[in-house]
Amino acid sequence: MNHPIYKVCSVKIVAPYTLQVRFDDRTEQTIHFRPVLAGELYGPLREPTLFNQVRIDPEVHTLVWPNGADFDPATLHDWPEHVNALTARARKWESQPA
């Protein structure tokens, strides 16, 4: 299986829970993350002050947050292909008792 390698080059907050992400192949995605923010790792990102602390990790070139949350750059690059599955997974996590 061939997994493309992408690097996040820039990120900009454009709305609540929404980031404009530019990649090394000169493409970009505007991603609304709120529907996938659930579970132990991503749930805390519902707090806007934490979500807005997003940055680009200089070593792996992806989005990271202070609580350790991150996303594979290839997933971010191809977000429209993954968003439904990620949203379904987040709903499942929300429905499980803590």
Tell me the per-residue pLDDT of 71-90, one tens digit each, with 9 for 90 and over.
999 999 999 998 888 888 88
pLDDT of residue 94 exceeding 90: no
> What is the number of structural domains in the chain?
1
Residue 21 lies in a domain: yes
Q: 69 CB contacts (<8 Å, ≥6 apart)?
A: 41, 42, 44, 45
pLDDT of residue 14 exceeding 90: yes
Structure letter (DSSP) for residue 79: H
Indicate which CATH number applies to the domain containing 46: 3.30.2020.10
Residue 76 lies in a domain: yes
* Boundaries of domain holding 49: 8-95
| Whole-angstrom distance, CA of residue 9 vs CA of residue 63 | 10
Residue 57 lies in a domain: yes
The H or E element that residue 92 is part of is helix 79-95
Position 8 scores a pLDDT of 98
Confidence of residue 96 (pLDDT cuts 50, 70, 90): low
Residue 1 lies in a domain: no
Q: What's the chain's average pLDDT?
A: 92
Residue 58 lies in a domain: yes
50-65 pLDDT tens trace? 999 999 999 999 999 9
pLDDT of residue 1 exceeding 60: no
pLDDT of residue 98 exceeding 60: no
